[in-house]
Amino acid sequence: MKNIILILAVFFSLNTQAQTSNQAIDVKVMGKGKPVMLIPGFTVPGEGWDAVVNQLEKNYECHVVTLAGFGGKAPIEFPWLPKVNEALENYIQKNKLTDLTIIGHSLGGTIATWLASRENNTIKQLILVDALPAAGALMIPNFNPDNLVYDNPYGKQQLAMSDADFEQMAAGMSQGMSLNPESQKKIKDWMIQADRKTYVYGYTDYLKMDEREDLKNISIPVTILAADKPFGKEMVKQTYQNQYANLSKYELIIADNSAHFVMFDQPTWFMEQIQLILAIQ
């Protein structure tokens, strides 16, 4: 009898661990006050927001998200991004996060616009950090989401890469994402740490995501903090005007001397903007 109980205990323990490790999102909650959800960019774990949370948790309840397959979190079945989106929507509803501000960087900002466009959402405002509603449309000529599939030559090449080759690729990419060498190393390490299939197929999910039409459903305040590198302010303005044409009202603020990770390249300026935006609403 004792053996049966022990076997059952082990079974349920393993089952619970499997369920826990097979979640689309992992959320850590810190601080007290009005809720703020922080969604990171592609491959970046929640710890990418550490410096921001250290300041905000004094006055706000911070819900810091890590997406499956990143930051050491277990991967999930594909399609990846639709499951992430649904999990975030369910998390907000389950935890009754009313009067919610979402701060989203890059992919996290694209997800935030999707969440804000949904019916019966309780989001009060969005702060989007160098984020576009349709990154694929900017990167791919004659963009059509339906033409993007997992089984493609570039994806196969990345999956077949040796660890050394992938690290070399990640190092090169990270140099364009931040002007700070220490931050570049962090970004590279996060890319290397990511589950390789999530990196490859998840990025396809990201490029397929097109929220431009859904922007018409958003009426809450939206602030965009964009980077001026590498294209310069005029091209940045034009890009955001084109991508956010269907958003009735938003404020675009461009950081000087900053690449994609604005919070790393201009941390003091970034926190000043965040605190100011949160204080106004």
CA-closest candidate to residue 239, choices 231, 248, 251, 247 = 231
pLDDT for 120: 87
**CATH code for 24-280?**
3.40.50.1820
pLDDT tens digits, one per residue of 49-76: 999 999 999 999 999 999 999 999 999 9
Q: Is the pTM of this model over 0.85?
A: yes
pLDDT at residue 16 is higher than 50: no
Q: How confident is the model at residue 281 (pLDDT cuts 50, 70, 90)?
A: low
Average pLDDT over all residues of the chain: 92
pLDDT tens digits, one per residue of 93-135: 999 999 999 999 999 999 999 999 999 899 999 999 999 999 9
pLDDT at residue 10 is higher than 90: no
Q: What is the rounded distance in angstroms from the CA atom of residue 108 to the CA atom of residue 40?
A: 5
Dihedral sign computed on CA atoms, order 7, 12, 15, 16: negative
Lowest mean pLDDT among 13-22, 149-158, 173-182, 235-244: 13-22
pLDDT for 12: 34
pLDDT for 185: 98
The mean per-residue pLDDT over the stretch 16-28 comes to 66
Lowest mean pLDDT among 221-225, 238-242, 276-280: 276-280
- Domain residues of the chain, as ranges? 24-280
CA-closest candidate to residue 174, choices 155, 191, 193 = 191
Report percent pLDDT > 70 for the chain: 92
The mean per-residue pLDDT over the stretch 197-212 comes to 97
pLDDT at residue 90 is higher than 90: yes
pLDDT for 280: 80
pLDDT at residue 25 is higher than 80: yes
Give every CB contact of residue 185 below 8 A, 6+ residues apart in sequence: 174
pLDDT for 3: 42
User: Is 239 in a helix, a strand, or coil?
Assistant: helix
pLDDT tens digits, one per residue of 138-159: 999 999 999 999 999 999 999 9
Q: What is the rounded distance in angstroms from the CA atom of residue 129 to the CA atom of residue 145?
A: 23
pLDDT for 18: 31
DSSP state of 70: S
pLDDT tens digits, one per residue of 248-267: 999 999 999 999 999 999 99
pLDDT at residue 1 is higher than 50: no
Which residue(s) pair with 100 in the sheet?
A: 123
Do β-strands 123-129 and 100-105 pair in parallel, antiparallel, or remain unpaired? Answer: parallel
pLDDT for 171: 98
pLDDT at residue 6 is higher than 50: no
pLDDT tens digits, one per residue of 34-49: 999 999 999 999 999 9
